Amino acid sequence: MAERATAVVGARVHTVSGPVHEPGTVVIVGERIVAVGPESAVKVPEGATRIEARGMTLVPGLIDAHAHIGVFNEAQGEDNWDGNETTDPVTPEMRVIDALNPDAVAFPDVLAAGVTTVATMPGSANVIGGTAAAIRTRGATVNELVRAYPVGMKMALGYNPKSVYGVEKKRPATRMANAAVLRGALQAAKNYAAKKLHHGAQLLTMEKKEADKREPVAPLEVDLKLEALLPVLEGRLVARCHCHRADDILTALRIRDEFGLAMSLEHCTEGYKVAKELAEAGVTCVLGPHFIDMRYKAELMGVNPANAALLHAVGVKVCLQTDATWGVQWLAHNAALCVR
């Protein structure tokens, strides 16, 4: 049985990637938009549910590029704060989908504000925190929420990891150690990849020998932590590196270049101070939060509401985030104030 169409008619339709249609019509079948255009040019299918939207504005669903919704959950107690595995500063094997709570009370607020997709991820307590997922903001189960997984490996420099472990007299306790721990984990993964390659070559050599001359090759023990980093080293998974201060931003870029990583810079609060370097690096900056919890810690003293505009002006690719556990609904307000 064919799915019934729904038509939103008469609204001011912003397509983002194309012209504004006023009045415009949008036709939806199932979960797909099948037609967008001027009201005079788009035919409403026979039998479609018709929604009159004159005087209203219609935009595509907003995307929050970095948040923690469903992982740190509002008003549900510490039992539902599952975003940081603070027993080890290097936990790439952690998967945010294993902590995602579809019953988080923030989801209805976020959906009502027009945010339909969020990149939700582990927090920044660890130098390497685990993998992120792109999720819908409506769904009864984790499987219904997840649009795409994985969409990045969360990493962090600066205050957060060194404060979490330094207070316990563990590594990292300084910015130097943050960088050293990250380099050490990436190098260990490189060594593991080489070991896997050598093991595969041994198996291939054995298979080419006559049966009576074959010597058994010991199985390679799988290391889930290092396995999780292989797609990052191969450039198939983006390293999403939390950094606020300009010095941490440049440290992230050095490590990116040393290991040939695909990397985005998350927050990039003082990016405007190193705008030239960011433009030359061709890196994407996921900026924010703007106007939410500004200057709540020392490394945010350089926050600048014009950061996005200043970076965009020199050709840096930017997108916006709320970094929120339950404030994702303010994404549009953040964007509006950045433009203003």
Q: What is the DSSP string of 195-220?
A: HHHHHHHHHHHHHHS-GGG----PPP
pLDDT at 206: 72
pLDDT at 199: 85
Task: Give dist(CA 58, CA 208) in Å, integer.
Answer: 64
Last-in-domain residue among 60, 80, 102: 60
What token pair was written down for 141?
């189960």
Secondary element (H or E) of residue 178: helix 175-208
Same domain, residue pair 331 and 276:
yes
What token pair was written down for 271?
């990016």
Q: Tell me the pLDDT tens digit for each residue of 68-89.
A: 999 998 766 677 789 999 999 9
Same domain, residue pair 46 and 81:
no
pLDDT at 338: 82
The answer to whether the pTM exceeds 0.75 is: yes
Same domain, residue pair 166 and 39:
no
Q: What is the CATH classification number for the domain harbouring 33?
A: 2.30.40.10
Same domain, residue pair 115 and 52:
no
Task: Give dist(CA 175, CA 157) in Å, integer.
Answer: 7
Same domain, residue pair 76 and 51:
no
Q: Which of 15-19, 98-102, 133-137 has the lowest mean pLDDT?
A: 15-19
Last-in-domain residue among 60, 83, 105: 60
Please give the average per-residue pLDDT across 128-145, as a whole number: 98
Residues facing 156 on adjacent strands: 242
Same domain, residue pair 231 and 82:
yes
Last-in-domain residue among 60, 79, 96: 60
Same domain, residue pair 198 and 51:
no
Q: Is the backbone peptide bond immediately before 23 cis, with ω within 30 degrees of 0?
A: yes
Same domain, residue pair 36 and 67:
no
Same domain, residue pair 69 and 45:
no
Q: What is the CATH classification number for the domain harbouring 188?
A: 3.20.20.140
Q: How many whole angstroms from its chain centre is CA 58?
A: 26
Residue with tokens 């107690």: 77
DSSP for residue 297? S
Residues facing 118 on adjacent strands: 64, 135
The helix/strand/coil state of 93 is: coil
pLDDT at 31: 84
| 1: pLDDT strictly greater than 60 | no
Q: Which of 116, 112, 156 is nearest to 132 (CA)?
A: 156
Q: Are 176 and 147 in contact (CB under 8 A)?
A: no
Percent of the chain clearing pLDDT 70 (strictly above) = 96
pLDDT at 201: 81
Full residue range of the structural domain in which residue 294 is found: 61-340
β-sheet with 133-136: strand ranges across: 62-67, 115-120, 133-136, 146-148
CA angle 223, 229, 230 (to 5 degrees): 90
- Model confidence at 25, pLDDT cuts 50, 70, 90, reads very high
Number of domains in the chain: 2
pLDDT at 166: 97
Same domain, residue pair 28 and 66:
no
Q: Tell me the pLDDT tens digit for each residue of 149-179.
A: 999 999 999 999 999 999 999 999 999 999 9
Q: Max CA-CA distance within the chain?
A: 82
pLDDT at 205: 77
Same domain, residue pair 65 and 168:
yes
Q: Tell me the pLDDT tens digit for each residue of 326-340.
A: 788 889 888 888 877
Same domain, residue pair 141 and 258:
yes
| 313: pLDDT strictly greater than 90 | yes
What is the chain's mean pLDDT, rounded?
Answer: 93
pLDDT at 219: 86
What token pair was written down for 329?
């609904």
Task: Give dist(CA 122, CA 100) in Å, integer.
Answer: 10
